[in-house]
Amino acid sequence: MTLDNLALLFVPGLGNTTASRLMECVGSAREVLTAPFARLTTEFGLREGVARSITTGECYRLAERELEYCRRHDIAVVDVDDDAYPAPLREVVDRPQVLFVRGNVEALKMRMLSMVGTREMSPSGQYIVDKIVGELSAKVADLCIVSGLAYGVDAACHRAAIAHNATTIAVVANALPDVKPAPHRALAEDIIRHGGAIVTELHSQSKQNGRLFLARNRIIAAMSMGTLVVESPAEGGSLETADMADGYHRTVMALPGRVTDSASFGTNNLIRTGKARLILTADDIISDMDWDVANGSVEASVVPSAEALYASLDPAQRRCVEALGEAEVMDMSQLMRATGLSIGELMMALLGLEMQGLVRSLPGQRYERV
């Protein structure tokens, strides 16, 4: 890391796109920051206010202070010229000049897959995230799952990666060492303990605002060569991330869902309009990403037969499955009458069935078989 690249971050009014283009034209941050005022305004085309800020040298003082802050909080500073800077991210014009990283910097060089989706994830979404990540981790030795540490799909992807011994990176929209949302601080530490990293483009003096989440999403979209949308309603941040990934010429993929499920409206539409490739298995991702798996594709996880699944259920769970039938939707009172179970027994049975991906909860305390 050079102090020049960090100093460039503290020039007021100098955005990522302008900084990137200057670096490409001039060759280095130092060349920009040491140029005289006239050259900055005429040759580089910078506004007078931006050029004046550069010539004062104040950005270097702020960069020194930020570097000391990072040392105190064990934050690595990775600039665009570092070997550890993600190669796909370096390709885009609005890339961050600097990334702030807690955890394993080497994770930034792994084979990445971005996974995004709704915060209101369904039990079916939870099941498929765990299945896909588990199969990928068995087949791709240097896999790294990238997501945004948000509620729902993001957190599920990070946890699935940890559970299956894959590396994961969380890109956050706040300055480190803090993370948001606050309830996910423990998850962030777990990510670091398991060889992953927490990444942001925001320095310690950044002011928090809602637009930072959209900026965060562009990093998730650009950091890997492919983005998988797990579940999404008709509108939402994950669809914006998919659009950004498409704009960066990345592979956009989506998991299909039932046409009646609101959490699948967005993903189904991505597939219908040809904006995303339909994904059913981990092998589909490996194929679409054109990943060369060194040892060949291992066999997919064996899916238990319906008979084996039924045999593994306890009596209360079997009653629920039988009552729901093949396409029945029932509320709690109907299920209590049909099964003869108490409310406590019924809730425990349904919870177990949801965790196994056999039953889905619907609004209004209604349930259906998956």
- Predicted local distance difference test score (pLDDT) of residue 276: 95
Residue 64 pLDDT class (50, 70, 90 cuts): very high
| pLDDT value of residue 177 | 96
pTM of the predicted model, to two decimals? 0.76
- Phi/psi of residue 326, each to 5°? -85, -35
pLDDT digits (tens, 9 = 90+) for 167-188: 999 999 999 999 999 999 999 9
Q: pLDDT tier at 362 (50, 70, 90 boundaries)? A: confident
Mean pLDDT to the nearest integer, 283-289: 94
Task: Tell me which DSSP letter residue 183 carries.
Answer: G
pLDDT value, residue 29: 85
- pLDDT tens sequence across 308-360: 667 778 889 889 988 888 657 888 888 899 999 988 888 888 877 876 778 87
Residues 150-160 as b or e (16 or more Cβ within 10 Å = b): bebbbbbbbbb
What three-state secondary structure class fits 111?
Answer: strand
C-alpha torsion sign, points 331, 356, 111, 257: negative
* Average pLDDT of the segment spanning 229-257: 94
Q: Is the per-residue pLDDT at 25 higher than 60?
A: yes
Strands (E) located in the chain: 76-79, 98-103, 111-116, 143-147, 167-171, 197-200, 226-229, 251-254, 277-278, 329-331, 359-362, 366-369
Instruction: Encode pLDDT of 138-164 as tens digits.
Output: 999 899 999 999 999 999 999 999 999
List phi, psi (to 5°) of 147: -155, -170
Give the residue from 124, 183, 123, 119 showing the smallest Cα distance to 151: 119
Q: pLDDT by residue (tens digit) across 65-76?
A: 999 999 999 999
Domains of the chain: 1-71 (no CATH), 105-288 (3.40.50.450), 306-369 (1.10.10.10)
pLDDT at 301 over 80: no
- pLDDT tens digits, 104-123: 999 999 999 999 999 999 88
Q: What's phi and psi for 263, nearest 5 deg?
A: -70, -5
Indicate the SS3 state at residue 240: helix
Q: Is the model's pLDDT at 193 over the cut of 50?
A: yes
Percentages (nearest 5) of helix, strand, coil residues in the chain: 50, 15, 35
d(CA 30, CA 41): 16
Average pLDDT over residues 224-238: 94
